[in-house]
Amino acid sequence: MTCLPAHTDKKLGLVIDLDTCVGCQACVTACKEWNTGGHMAPLTDIDPYGGDADGVWLNRVHSYEHMTEMGGRTVNFPRSCLHCETPACVTVCPTGASYKRASDGIVLVDEDKCIGCKLCSWACPYGAREFDTDVGVMKKCTLCVDRIYNDNLAEEDRVPACVAACPTSARHFGDLGDPASAISQLVAERGGVDLMPELGYHPTNKYLPPRAHTPRAASVPAPRLEPLRVEGGFLGWVDRMLSH
């Protein structure tokens, strides 16, 4: 049923640190690599080497300039499914293909039931769902459901591919329904926020805002260049002649 579970035992999700994300796109390619062979496979690319490349990606990294009275900064912003607590993408689904799991809160698509009406992608304010024109069904982030419970993987690898790939540890995975979990404490400590809270989707994933500017930060510019001293002799004469 596309009715939502009244309660989920866990609220598995991601916490993304906008302070440390460097926008390297490693999570994007790791996601594509894993999921084009995983639960949502294939993630079709259309004309990948041509002038009109298009394709399905479950994770995209934007770059923004955030200007405040404290100055400006570049913020790299990974965007993927937030596994909302009240996801309208699930309730609008006419076939029951979209569902939210009562056990861990992960929002999934059963590709054998999807009719490709695209209404779920309209209902998602975050642009988390992408339609695969080749297969005719909707694709979305699975929170790497085929990794996190996978006994064939080493314990430390049982995290979403994007989290495993992140070189700056900007991505964290865990149970956001458990206030004692490391990830929940990280959110509490850093003041993690919901995206578009006013729409009432209650996203599970949280974003950690960049840390405030501090006047104690080290000054890193290179030493100033000395003004060129006017020399005598031939070079001095050349300098004077060219300066006229």
Question: What's the closest the beta carbon of residue 244 comes to other proteins, in angstroms?
Answer: 45
List the Cα angle 123/28/140 in 5-degree steps: 30
Per CB under 8 A, residues contacting other proteins are 1-4, 18, 25, 28, 52-57, 60-69, 74-75, 77, 79, 88, 90-97, 113-119, 121-127, 130-133, 135-138, 193-201, 207, 209-210
Label residue 44 exposed, middle or buried (CB < 10 Å: 0-12, 13-18, 19+).
Answer: middle
User: Which residue lies nearer to other proteins by CB, 85 or 130?
Assistant: 130
Shortest Cβ 7–other proteins spacing (Å):
17
Q: Does residue 231 contact residue 239 with C-beta atoms inside 8 Å? A: yes
Nearer to other proteins, 91 or 181 (CB): 91
Q: How far is residue 74's CA from residue 71's CA, in Å, rounded to a whole number?
A: 11
DSSP letter at 193? Answer: B
CB of residue 24 to other proteins, shortest distance in Å: 12
Q: Nearer to other proteins by C-beta: 153 or 210? A: 210
Q: How many residues does the chain have?
A: 244
Between residues 95 and 150, which has the closer beta carbon with respect to other proteins? 95
CB of 97 or CB of 148, closer to other proteins: 97
Query: Which residue is listed with tokens 């992140």?
Result: 166
Least gap, CB of 242 to other proteins (angstroms): 41
Q: Which helix (H) or strand (E) holds 61?
A: strand 59-68
Kindly state the tokens that stand for 202.
């209650």
The candidate with the shortest Cα–Cα distance to 109, out of 151, 150, 73, 139, is 139
Nearer to other proteins, 34 or 126 (CB): 126
Nearer to other proteins, 42 or 125 (CB): 125
- How many CA atoms, within 13 angstroms, populate the side-chain half-sphere of residue 37? 6
* End-to-end Cα, the chain, rounded Å: 84
Q: Is 75 helix (H, G, I), strand (E, B) or coil?
A: strand
Q: How far is the CB of 237 from other proteins (least distance, A)?
A: 49
Query: Measured from the CB of residue 204, what is the shortest distance to other proteins in angstroms?
Result: 14
CA distance 182 to 169: 14
**Least distance to other proteins, CB of residue 207, Å:** 4
